[in-house]
A and B are shown apart, each in its own frame.
Chain A
Amino acid sequence: MAYQRVAIVGAGITKFVRRAHETGKELAAQAAKMALDSCGMTMKDIESVSLGTAPDAFDGVHMKGEYLSDGSGGWRKPYMRQFVGGGTGVFAPIHGWYHVASGMFDTCLVVCSEKMSSCHPHPQGAFKTIFDHTTEQALNPTLIWIFALEMNRYMSTYGITKEEIALVSVKNKKNAMDHPAAQLPMEITVEDVLNSETLAWPVNRLDISPASDGAAAIVLASEHTAKRITDKPVWIDGVGWNLDTAYWATRDLYYPRYVEKAARMAYEMAGITEPKREIEIAEPYDPFDYKELHHMEGLLLADRGKAVEMLLDGKTQRDGDRPMCPSGGALGVGNPIAATGLMKVIEIFLQLRGEAGKRQVPGNPRCGLAQAWGDLMQVGTVVVLRR
């Protein structure tokens, strides 16, 4: 396949907070401005804009793509909104990638903005309408049900315990202590997680990432453009996305096949044949602690049911052999849905450039990946980055 090579050349992010004074547009503009400033570009240099944002129901604003377009710099430019639920934050850069890879544009600004705090009493309520209106909504489901059902199935398939899974939350919230945008950086223990309120067994409050407001942005450029902008481009060498059936109860939840398919697509494009060896650092999507392990397996970074062994051996710590979520992840930095996925891409970008500050992992990694996940537990989105 013939396409232009695409690099990330700049990045920006706002703080992730429970409730921001700024509107979604203003958050988008703050993150976009920082991304442009970081690489000495202006909006005039931007040829196309890819916006990611999650359900309109959070904001109570219909057609959020249009609503957020001015803050995102999308006015009077080729502009598109991407939305695949929680997978959006990695899908928006994939979309930006093919804007540039296709040769249509030499630059693309990717912006992800989310304001979850507008929805009352809690954005959870907005999730009810993702369930089938006739066969499921009548049972009054909450989104936590499907996470709890999946976590229980995953735990019992492999005999993994809540104590073991809680270590992911402990690790990520601690990693977030070094992230300047973090909403929930904390030093906690496994006992703290187990003793936090049981919401839907096996899910306790500290197993879950918070609802957040926030935005993130990156600048993409074609190879010849990127080399003019920076001497440290980070290349998007592989992209993959995949969707499984929306009849979620009819597929076994213990394994995310769609994540594997997305990962295989990205690996093939990047020429990766041994992901366990070649992917040195990763940001798997962690809206719940067990999801980090579940996704490591789908990403083929661990054998099925064995991600927990890497966790227990300390391999996924920031100074371990295979750091996972060195940013602090959704659990620690916060989870403004679409912005979270892009925050993960930004973390790998910074880590590969050796610019992650106190969060920097040792060993000068050359290759990493970011992944997000969403819709009705059915979509996987993956990007592989190299320096």
Chain B
Amino acid sequence: MELEKFELGATPLKESAMKDGKVLTLHKKPNLKYAWDNGPAIDRYLAELKKGRIIARKCNKCRRIMIPPRMFCELCWRPTDEWVYVEDTGVVNTFSICYVNWDASRIKKGDKPHLPAVIEIDGASDGMGILHVLGEVEPDKVKIGMKVKAVWKKPEEREGAITDILYFKPMRG
């Protein structure tokens, strides 16, 4: 068989087809709301963030200090053993300079791009990173391997969320 010998299905529509009413469509916005339980590991993680600290969990078998904390070690497949405070500093493992928002819309002209990064947290095991964003830095000055430190919300504004850390900023020296 050769694809060229068949008449292939699928009829392409122009972008304008819906607007012009050439194709009948139904629009719907599902109104769904969720209340997610976080479980004991992330509950404690969030509670500590509210106090301005970062906490991890240690597995005494593989000796990994894991962040975000978890009640089970996915490598050893056994419960983790203890809570360990880690630093609010780390190293940029990788980063991006992002001009689009979560829904693929573009950031407003003149607005600063998002600077998402994987940050390896000091005090956690090697390579243990979290997703966060960078701030107080020009995009073209960001480098992999850069030392960074958390910038926290004011204590009275914190709500027990990952966003209690506003961003990570470069450390001097």
Contacts and interface: CB of A to CB of B under 8 A. Distances in A.
B60 interface: no
A133 B36 contact: yes
B71 interface: no
A145 B96 contact: yes
Interface in A350-380: 350, 353, 355-358
Interface of A: 10-22, 26-27, 30-31, 34, 37-39, 60, 120-122, 124-125, 128, 131-136, 138-142, 144-145, 148-150, 152-153, 156, 179-181, 197-203, 213-215, 245, 247, 249-253, 350, 353, 355-358
A298 B131 CA distance: 24
Nearest to A21: B11
Contact of A30 (B9, B94, B96, B128): B9
Interface residues of B, number: 59
B10 A30 contact: yes
Given A134-B46, A203-B96, A139 B2 contact: no
A214 B10 contact: yes
B100 A14 contact: no
B62 interface: no
B2 A356 contact: yes
A149 B118 contact: yes
Given A141-B116, A148-B98, A252-B127, A180 B10 contact: no
Contacts of B13: 17-21
9 contacts: A15-B12, A20-B13, A21-B12, A34-B9, A124-B103, A142-B104, A156-B94, A213-B10, A247-B68
A125 B96 contact: no
Contacts of A247: 66, 68, 70, 74
B162 A136 contact: yes
Nearest to B164: A138
A250 B86 CA distance: 15
Contacts of A180: 3-4, 8
Contacts of A16: 10
Given A17-B10, A134-B36, A250-B129, A200 B98 contact: yes
Interface in B125-151: 127-133, 139, 144
B103 A125 contact: yes
Interface in B32-61: 34, 36, 38, 42, 45-46
A169 B38 CA distance: 41
Given A38-B6, A213-B10, A199 B42 contact: no
A253 B99 CA distance: 22
Contacts of A203: 96
Given A20-B13, A121-B105, A153-B144, A139 B132 contact: yes
Q: Which of B104, B105, B133 has the most CB of A within 10 A?
A: B104
A22 B9 contact: yes
Given A11-B1, A16-B10, A139 B42 contact: no
Interface of A is mostly: mixed
A60 B30 contact: yes
A14 B10 CA distance: 6
Contacts of A252: 93, 127
5 tightest Cβ-Cβ pairs between the two chains A and B: A30-B9, A148-B96, A14-B10, A122-B104, A124-B104
Nearest to B11: A21
Nearest to B167: A139
Contacts of A213: 10
B118 to A, nearest CB: 5
B96 A202 contact: yes
B105 to A, nearest CB: 7
B24 to A, nearest CB: 11
A124 B75 CA distance: 31
A123 to B, nearest CB: 8
A21 B23 contact: yes
B2 A125 contact: no
B95 interface: yes
B9 A15 contact: yes
Contact of B12 (A18, A34, A60, A201): A18
A200 B8 contact: no
A142 B101 contact: yes
Given A18-B12, A60-B30, A350 B1 contact: yes
A349 B105 CA distance: 39
A122 B103 contact: yes
B116 A145 contact: yes
B118 A156 contact: no
A135 B42 contact: yes
A179 B4 CA distance: 8
Nearest to B4: A357
B98 A145 contact: yes
B15 interface: yes
B76 interface: no
B2 A350 contact: yes
Contacts of A179: 3
A253 B8 contact: no
Nearest to A245: B74
Contacts of B161: 134, 138
Given A15-B8, A19-B13, A19-B17, A135 B45 contact: yes
